[in-house]
Structure 1
Amino acid sequence: MAARRRIPEELGIGVVIVLVALAFSVMSPTFRTLDNAQLLLLNGAVIAFLAMGQAFVLLTGGIDLSTGSNVALTGMVAALVMRSGASWWVAALAALAVGALVGVVNGALIHYLRLPAFIVTFATFGVAASIPLILTGASSVNVADPLFAIVGRGGLFGIPMPVVLVAVFAVVFTVLLRLTATGVHIYAVGGNAETSRLSGIPIGRVTMLVYAVSGFCAAIGGLITTSRLMVGYPSAGSGNELFYSIAAAVVGGVSLFGGIGSLPGALLGAVLIATVSNGMNVVGVQSYWQPLVIGLIILGGVIIDTYRRQSSLSDLLRRRLGRPGPDGAAGTPPSPPGAAPAGEPATLTPHPTR
């Protein structure tokens, strides 16, 4: 029997994006202008970076609630470093290091102290949000180096620099997840942490890595935000950034339970969220309706994710128990312990030495 061709999960959300864009284009001619498309991509770049970082964390079964405040913290770090006389690239490196450090601290506390990710990152959210306010007395800081504008306002061959950065890091992170042992470990930890530990996977290192990636991505978002405004605001990132990052990842097919999802899916989710937000602004929908719509999108994504996991579990049990599947075909009868699955060569499994 020929194997059925698997349809990529990203295709579904791609179709939804096209339909949403067509609907807003019909509702408002302004939506389909080139200037609005450029604005959508610029605003979506920050969401895309936060979604990529959140996807890494969600793949291990965790969650990062500190991304929004990390945007403010890293943006202010860059502005303060430049005010002290350093070059813009030194300030950018300092901000990236601080963002990654926040992630490493989150991962270490979660793994080594066995604390819930929700509690740890929620606490970090408060700490990271307060530090810029304390350092500046709740006042903004002007960017001293005009060359810093290249990060958020520059371009490459007519493409906005934030979009170029998203494309570059999307390729790097996708290669990391799909073509390296580290990527296999990340999916394994999210699938079953205990089995991964028994298999020799360094769970602590993997946990700190994914939170460091999340903090690093939030730092890039902070650099883009500060560069576009050329002012460091201590309250930057306190809006819907966290809300949007989780929504983009979940809607893009990254499971809240870990072990399932892809980075291209999370990026498409970010495009959908940015399109919906931009479209509602163009159409003239009041801003207080936007969290309601995004919340419903998250709820729909979670419902689909839950249904998908339950269906996968039912199929697995059906195959193990040898019961007929939905198409009437009999499942695979259970194999005796130590036997190889049907269609695979038999292998010898060594018994542990007593």
Structure 2
Amino acid sequence: MKKRKLPEETGIFVVLIAVVAVLSILSPSFRTLDNGLVLLVNGTVIAFLALGQTFVLLTGGIDLSTGANVAMTGVIAALLMQGGLPWFLAAVIAVGAGVVLGLVNGFLVHYVRIPAFIATFSTQGVALAIPLIITGANSVSVKDAGFSWIGQGKIAGLPVAVLLLLVAAVIAGVFLAKTRPGVHLYAMGGNKSAARLAGVNVARTTIMAYAISGFCGGMGGLIATSRLMVGFPATGTGNELFYSIAAAVVGGISLFGGIGTILGAMIGAVLIAVVSNGMNVLNVQSYWQSLVIGLIILAGVAFDTYRRARAGKPVFTLRRGGGSGPDSPAGAPVELPASVRSADTPVAGSPTRGTA
């Protein structure tokens, strides 16, 4: 009888349950329904950023501009509504600006060949400056009451922001698990050179990953601005970036690329939100939160490094007959792990398809 393997997200889910149980014992107010809804809504911005960060991390990159994207898109939306545009149109344009930021990041990383850390750190500075320059470092009030629906509205008792996140997470999960471009993201993170030989369009995949991260940053900006009904140039420039990376890493997304799932990243985001909310409820000083989250990141990275070292081999293996490197001559077919393999994916021993 074949042994059933527990999902990779089981470990982080057990940790989440344990943390919730401990905080519930320490503070009766933590386990109330009202606090649970506040926790979920507060965590949606971080979760959206973690969702976008997941796509970039899977390629082996990183996006440091996500927090600045929240500030930029929020202010843009507020200014457009102040100028008379309907809130829905202003929201679409603002998210579009976030996607443009992501496209610029992808272009710099792939075509200009600037390391992702440097490229996105630079665009972070630009995105931070834009709302400060166009507002004179002043906040922008939102008068269109309809805009509040995004961050404050409810459908069947559930916050709209949480429902938007759930829809985005489901779509992202299906995209990564069931589509050819999704498989290509894993392939790039596992071995970019091998993926290119297997027919992966590296340029398109890289730019797509950063564009999705830009979109998620834009959604985070809309939610943050809608909740306050004010466009602050400094929104998203606190711990949002820090927490989004932490959520993805503790959720099992490898900083080295090619490993992880959307479900894991979302559980990680909930864990970060629970820890932050729990410490607030317990009246713990804010700087202790950064220390705890930092330790969580260290634990996640250490586990990721240990996991890779114990595996003793890369995600992708090249067989005889071609490839790059001493043991893999050029032209070798690429063997994808079963978890990310699809019917359209070239596997070892079969001819590769054209560029996708």
Conserved in 1, the CA contact under 8 Å of 2:53 and 2:248?
A: yes
Matches within 5 A, 1:54-203: 54-203=53-202
Using the TM superposition, give the Cα deviation of residue 5 of structure 1 relative to its aligned residue in structure 2, in angstroms: 1.8
Matched AA of 2:75: M
Deviations for 1:160-181, whole angstroms, at most 9, x for unmatched residues? Answer: 0011001111111111101100
Deviations for 1:321-346, whole angstroms, at most 9, x for unmatched residues? Answer: xxxxxxxxxxxxxxxxx9xx9xxxx9
SS in 1 for 2:256: coil
Q: Using a 3 Å threshold, how does the CA distance of structure 1 residues 225 and 315 change in structure 2: closer, same or farther?
A: closer
Conserved in 1, the CA contact under 8 Å of 2:44 and 2:165?
A: yes
Match in the other structure for 2:239: 240
Match in the other structure for 1:252: 251
SS in 2 for 1:64: coil
Match in the other structure for 2:35: 36
User: Once superposed, which parts of structure 1, at least 4 consecutive aligned residues long, lie more than 6 Å away?
Assistant: none
Measured in 1, the distance between the counterparts of 2:284 and 2:13 equals 24
Deviations for 1:95-144, whole angstroms, at most 9, x for unmatched residues? Answer: 11000000000000100011100000000111100100000000000113
Measured in 1, the distance between the counterparts of 2:98 and 2:82 equals 19
Match in the other structure for 2:284: 285
TM-score between both structures, scaled by the size of structure 2? 0.88
Match in the other structure for 1:222: 221
Measured in 2, the distance between the counterparts of 1:348 and 1:267 equals 35
Larger Rg: 1
SS in 2 for 1:258: coil
Measured in 1, the distance between the counterparts of 2:217 and 2:188 equals 23
- Which 5+ residue runs of structure 1 have no aligned equivalent? 321-337
Using the TM superposition, give the Cα deviation of residue 282 of structure 1 relative to its aligned residue in structure 2, in angstroms: 0.4
The answer to whether 1:300 aligns with 2:335 is: no
Matched AA of 1:301: G
Report the count of equivalent residues: 325
Using the TM superposition, give the Cα deviation of residue 284 of structure 1 relative to its aligned residue in structure 2, in angstroms: 1.1
SS in 2 for 1:135: helix
The answer to whether 1:276 aligns with 2:270 is: no
Using the TM superposition, give the Cα deviation of residue 196 of structure 1 relative to its aligned residue in structure 2, in angstroms: 1.1
Conserved in 1, the CA contact under 8 Å of 2:54 and 2:262?
A: yes
Using the TM superposition, give the Cα deviation of residue 314 of structure 1 relative to its aligned residue in structure 2, in angstroms: 5.8
Measured in 2, the distance between the counterparts of 1:3 and 1:201 equals 34
TM-score between both structures, scaled by the size of structure 1? 0.89
Deviations for 1:269-320, whole angstroms, at most 9, x for unmatched residues? Answer: 000000000000001110111110000000000000001111112699xxx9
Match in the other structure for 1:331: none
Measured in 2, the distance between the counterparts of 1:217 and 1:263 equals 13
SS in 1 for 2:5: coil
Q: Using a 3 Å threshold, how does the CA distance of structure 1 residues 347 and 306 change in structure 2: closer, same or farther?
A: closer
Measured in 2, the distance between the counterparts of 1:168 and 1:192 equals 30
Match in the other structure for 1:52: 51
Using the TM superposition, give the Cα deviation of residue 348 of structure 1 relative to its aligned residue in structure 2, in angstroms: 7.9
Measured in 1, the distance between the counterparts of 2:282 and 2:8 equals 30
Using the TM superposition, give the Cα deviation of residue 24 of structure 1 relative to its aligned residue in structure 2, in angstroms: 0.7
Q: Using a 3 Å threshold, how does the CA distance of structure 1 residues 315 and 254 change in structure 2: closer, same or farther?
A: closer
CA RMSD across the alignment: 2.0
Conserved in 1, the CA contact under 8 Å of 2:55 and 2:209?
A: yes
Using the TM superposition, give the Cα deviation of residue 4 of structure 1 relative to its aligned residue in structure 2, in angstroms: 2.8
Matched AA of 2:94: A
Conserved in 1, the CA contact under 8 Å of 2:190 and 2:314?
A: no
